[in-house]
């Protein structure tokens, strides 16, 4: 028998299940995954009876009628429960459908539900959703976009998310509570302009703090743009002109004249003097006296990179993160503590520390002056307070250091720690007491938190989820209240859209455990997305690209090949020496897992990736052509030797660990063998490539040479060049063009 999915859209109060039976019969059971007091149903249809209403009016009283038989309600909030009975679907000449209608009150509380069946059930197979292990070819239940949609046989389909919505919204980042805890300042960027704004924690209008020059924002969960003055009268910020500026009321003042790039200001008080520690050119740490305007360099030049200085609560010490090539920050960064002379703030002593086999980030102090930091010396990137980890769980408390200003934890006066936790690509916000007592602050929210700021019992953080654009949320830790949204970055329409939460995917083969997350659409076609970095991870946060393609019927499999963060130091370091081979083979293994599970076939599988993810796309296309039918690569790395010789300063020595030391005679051979450009003739599937002419990370010359080689070997490449764009595309016109070209490319792989 074959059951074919014919439903992808619903209106806000209805869910429709359509089963088309060919021959034979199949037992189908329904397991509801969601809130109690939601939809309860179980359906049956047969012969020529086309429509069979099963649950006509759910009134929120805890039960529903099923052929006059009561279905008991479970305890509120238990989630996964059997709520119906098995339905035997027999062959018939007409489609069979079940329709459920929820009252508007219930819909507003619980959300509407969409139900659909994945394609390609095996003959005489059985889908039994009652067990603990649910077959991946299951009935999927989820909310969807309540917009207009097309219909198939009178049944509505989920409306594709408009591109205009994907490209809308403003970027917000770096919320910071004022010293009094009554206001929150944050950085926003919209349509090419940026500003620091402020809003009261009890709500109210947003107001600009800055005018000209504009601030230089961080990205995402990074920061390093500004800090409050200790008295709360204003802020010190890094401007687009590269200098530090002070804004206090109507007073606007330039503080530095380095004519270089200043970043990551951190204010503090030393006696009666207000000071600011900051970074110049990512390489030097300076201290500025705001009273007399004098400044002095604090570091001694031993580190090529210096990030995130912080002034101790008593003003006696300035600490920062430092490292030097050939290591990257996540390989061997150290904590640097610089004590200050008690009279004139001149450097007095420097101490450097890092754990054996680990790296340090976010060096800071608890309110009582106890040193804190995040490090992975014990195998997992966790917060350490006074030298001890706050948790023994196999989880991570920070992302890799790709920029300044990450704030993934905050220490309260009672020495409890609020921390943004990542486990397998899924985030949570947790408070951990000094006695180990733990409380969840993000219950009921799927997403990722960061940029924590804590004053007294007031906490603010930046959070986002699969269809929740970044927003600033406030909590009062004393009353354990749920978070309250203060600032939203996205358009209102996103609140009408919800994908299923991604499913964690684990593939085990030959003792190797690989990870991924699947956003299930169930239409039999698959986009395999490989993140950049490669030392990074795409968590279950706001990525409108994923929602966009999911709404068009694509499963999206976000893979975590070895080298990905979030799974412990050993997993992240396992890519070293094998970039271009290990990640390629791991992605291939995860694709085989997806195909074996019946999510898609190779003929309906396309790879996507940018930068280092583009390298993996090209490698899989060259080495595992049987697993996919096309690829899309943006600003891809294709020639590792060229990357090693010409990239920006931060990644100039990246290949030293990912491939091999430049002094090793075997490294040139490795650089060549691991580079897709030297296997270009094996790339025979259609390829779409985007690259900007001004890319400072991966030269467009790499892609030009790659395209020439593929075409010379008879391959098919659509090469799109964007003039003036860098590593990632910022112009909305260019972004729109990239989406539209990608959609035309993917249309060739859609199901009939």
Give me the pLDDT at residue 343, please: 60
Give me the pLDDT at residue 346, please: 63
CA distance 58 to 35: 14
CB 222 within 8 Å of CB 173: yes
**CA count, 13 A, side-chain hemisphere, 707:** 20
Which tens digits make up the pLDDT trace of 359-373?
999 999 999 999 999
Which tens digits make up the pLDDT trace of 233-247?
999 999 999 999 999
CB 9 within 8 Å of CB 53: no
* Token pair listed for 639: 């020639």
Q: How much is the average pLDDT of 473-499?
A: 90
pLDDT over 80 (residue 4): no
Name the nearest CA neighbour of 409 among 444, 470, 362.
362
pLDDT band at 290 (very low <50, low <70, confident <90, very high): very high
CA–chain centroid gap for 612, Å, is 16
pLDDT over 60 (residue 434): yes
Work out the percent of the chain whose per-residue pLDDT is above 90: 71
CB 465 within 8 Å of CB 542: yes
pLDDT over 90 (residue 417): yes
pLDDT over 60 (residue 716): yes
Place of tokens 């380095």: 258
| β 207-208/417-423 pair status | unpaired
pLDDT over 70 (residue 104): no
Give me the pLDDT at residue 581, please: 97
Which tens digits make up the pLDDT trace of 120-173?
222 222 233 332 223 332 333 333 333 334 433 333 356 899 999 999 999 999
Which tens digits make up the pLDDT trace of 563-591?
999 999 999 999 999 999 999 999 999 99
* Token pair listed for 43: 């359906």
Give me the pLDDT at residue 509, please: 77
C-beta neighbour count of 682 within 10 angstroms: 17
Give me the pLDDT at residue 751, please: 56
Give me the pLDDT at residue 528, please: 98
CA distance 586 to 608: 15
Could you tell me the sign of the dihedral formed by the alpha carbons of 564, 565, 571, 577, in that order? positive
Q: How much is the average pLDDT of 241-265?
A: 96
Which tens digits make up the pLDDT trace of 331-360?
999 999 999 876 665 667 899 999 999 999
Give me the pLDDT at residue 404, please: 97
C-beta neighbour count of 174 within 10 angstroms: 26
Q: How much is the average pLDDT of 382-391?
A: 94
Per the prediction, the chain carries an average pLDDT of: 81
Give me the pLDDT at residue 630, please: 97
Place of tokens 């489609």: 95
C-beta neighbour count of 597 within 10 angstroms: 14
Beta carbons within 8 Å of 86's beta carbon, 6+ residues apart: 27, 28, 29, 42
Query: How is the chain split among helix, strand and coil, in percent rounded to 5?
Result: 15, 35, 50
Which tens digits make up the pLDDT trace of 531-562?
999 999 999 999 999 999 999 999 999 999 99
CB 186 within 8 Å of CB 487: yes
Name the nearest CA neighbour of 196 among 220, 180, 212.
212
Taken in order of first residue, the domains within the chain and their CATH numbers are 14-159 (no CATH), 171-408 (2.120.10.30), 506-749 (3.40.50.1820)
Q: How much is the average pLDDT of 68-87?
A: 30
Place of tokens 């409306």: 159
Give me the pLDDT at residue 41, please: 34
pLDDT over 60 (residue 221): yes
Task: Decide which of 9 and 376 is more confident.
Answer: 376
Name the nearest CA neighbour of 239 among 261, 272, 219, 221.
261
Q: From residue 497, how far is each of 165, 249, 312, 445, 551 by CA, in Å?
A: 11, 41, 45, 15, 10
- Under DSSP, is residue 548 helix (H, G, I), strand (E, B) or coil? helix
Give me the pLDDT at residue 53, please: 30
pLDDT over 80 (residue 660): yes
pLDDT over 70 (residue 602): yes
The mean-pLDDT minimum among 42-51, 188-197, 200-209 falls in 42-51
Give me the pLDDT at residue 20, please: 34
CB 385 within 8 Å of CB 375: no
Beta bridge partners of 81: 32
Which tens digits make up the pLDDT trace of 511-533?
889 999 999 999 999 999 999 99
Q: How much is the average pLDDT of 56-67?
A: 30
The pTM (predicted TM-score) of the whole model is 0.81
Q: From residue 612, how far is each of 268, 697, 703, 746 by CA, in Å?
A: 39, 11, 13, 21
For 141-174, the DSSP string reads EE----S---EETTEE-PPPPPHHHHT-S-EEEE
CB 718 within 8 Å of CB 743: no
What DSSP character marks residue 650? G
pLDDT over 90 (residue 73): no
The mean-pLDDT minimum among 333-347, 483-497, 622-636 falls in 333-347
Give me the pLDDT at residue 28, please: 38
CA distance 385 to 391: 10
């Amino acid at each position: 028998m074959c059951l074919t999915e014919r439903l992808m859209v619903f209106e806000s109060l209805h869910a429709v299940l359509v089963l088309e039976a060919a021959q034979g019969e199949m037992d189908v059971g329904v397991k509801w995954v969601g809130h109690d007091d939601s939809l309860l149903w179980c359906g049956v249809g047969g012969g020529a009876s086309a429509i069979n209403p099963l649950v006509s009016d759910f009134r929120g009283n805890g039960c529903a009628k099923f052929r006059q038989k009561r279905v008991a309600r479970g305890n509120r909030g238990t989630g996964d429960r059997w709520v119906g009975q098995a339905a035997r679907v027999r062959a018939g000449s007409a489609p069979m459908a079940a329709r459920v209608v929820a009252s508007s009150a219930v819909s507003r509380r619980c959300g509407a539900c969409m139900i659909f069946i994945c394609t390609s059930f095996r003959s005489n197979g059985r889908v039994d959703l009652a067990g603990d292990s649910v077959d991946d070819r299951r009935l999927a239940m989820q909310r969807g976009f309540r917009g207009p949609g097309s219909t198939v046989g009178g049944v509505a389909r989920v409306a594709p998310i408009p591109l205009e919505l994907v490209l809308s919204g403003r970027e917000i980042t770096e919320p910071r509570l004022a010293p009094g805890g009554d206001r929150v300042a944050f950085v926003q960027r919209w349509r090419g302009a940026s500003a620091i704004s402020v809003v009261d924690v009890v709500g109210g209008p947003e107001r600009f703090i800055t005018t000209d020059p504009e601030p230089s924002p961080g990205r995402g969960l990074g920061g390093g743009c500004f800090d409050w003055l200790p008295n709360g009268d204003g802020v010190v910020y890094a401007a687009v002109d590269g200098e530090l500026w002070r804004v206090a009321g109507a007073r606007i003042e330039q503080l530095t004249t380095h004519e270089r790039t200043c970043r990551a200001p951190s204010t503090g008080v030393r006696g009666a003097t207000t000071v600011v520690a900051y970074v110049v050119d990512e390489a030097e740490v300076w201290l500025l006296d705001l009273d007399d305007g004098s400044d002095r360099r604090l570091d001694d030049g031993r580190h090529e990179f210096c990030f995130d200085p912080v002034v101790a609560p008593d003003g006696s010490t300035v600490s920062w993160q430092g490292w030097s090539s050939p290591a990257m920050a996540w390989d061997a960064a150290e904590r640097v503590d610089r004590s200050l002379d008690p009279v004139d703030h001149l450097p007095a002593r420097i101490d450097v520390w890092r754990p054996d086999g680990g790296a340090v980030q976010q060096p800071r102090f608890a309110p009582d002056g106890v040193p804190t930091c995040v490090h992975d010396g014990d195998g997992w990137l966790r917060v350490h307070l006074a030298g001890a980890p706050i948790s023994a769980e196999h989880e991570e408390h920070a992302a890799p250091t790709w920029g300044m200003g990450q704030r993934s934890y905050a220490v309260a006066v009672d020495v409890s720690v609020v921390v943004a936790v990542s486990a397998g690509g899924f985030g949570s916000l947790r408070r951990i007491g000094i006695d180990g007592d733990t409380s969840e602050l993000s219950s009921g929210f799927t997403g990722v938190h960061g940029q924590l700021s804590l004053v007294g019992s007031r906490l603010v953080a930046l959070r986002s989820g699969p269809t929740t654009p970044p927003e600033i949320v406030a909590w009062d830790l004393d009353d354990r209240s749920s978070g309250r949204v203060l600032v939203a970055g996205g358009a209102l329409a996103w609140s009408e859209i919800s994908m299923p939460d991604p499913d964690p995917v684990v593939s085990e083969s030959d003792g190797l455990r690989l990870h991924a997350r699947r956003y299930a659409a169930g239409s039999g076609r698959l986009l395999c997305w490989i993140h950049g970095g490669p030392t990074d991870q795409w968590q279950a946060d706001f990525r409108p690209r994923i929602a966009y393609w999911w709404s068009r019927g694509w499963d999206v499999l976000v893979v975590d090949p070895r080298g990905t963060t979030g799974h412990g130091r050993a997993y992240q370091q396992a890519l070293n020496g094998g970039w271009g081979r290990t990640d390629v083979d791991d992605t291939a293994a995860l694709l085989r897992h997806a195909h074996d599970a019946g999510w898609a076939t190779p003929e309906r599988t396309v790879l996507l990736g940018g930068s280092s993810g583009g390298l993996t796309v090209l490698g899989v296309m060259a080495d595992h052509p049987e697993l996919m039918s096309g690829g899309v690569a943006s600003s891809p790395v294709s020639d590792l030797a060229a990357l090693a010789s010409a990239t920006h300063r931060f990644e100039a020595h990246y290949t030293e660990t990912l491939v091999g030391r430049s002094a090793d005679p075997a490294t040139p051979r490795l650089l060549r063998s691991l580079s897709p450009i030297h296997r270009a003739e094996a790339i025979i599937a259609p390829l779409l490539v985007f690259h900007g002419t001004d890319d400072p990370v991966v030269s467009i010359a790499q892609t030009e040479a790659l395209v020439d080689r593929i075409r010379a070997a008879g391959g098919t490449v659509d090469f799109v060049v964007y003039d003036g764009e860098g590593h990632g595309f910022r112009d909305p016109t260019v972004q729109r063009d990239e989406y539209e070209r990608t959609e035309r490319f993917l249309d060739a792989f859609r199901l009939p």
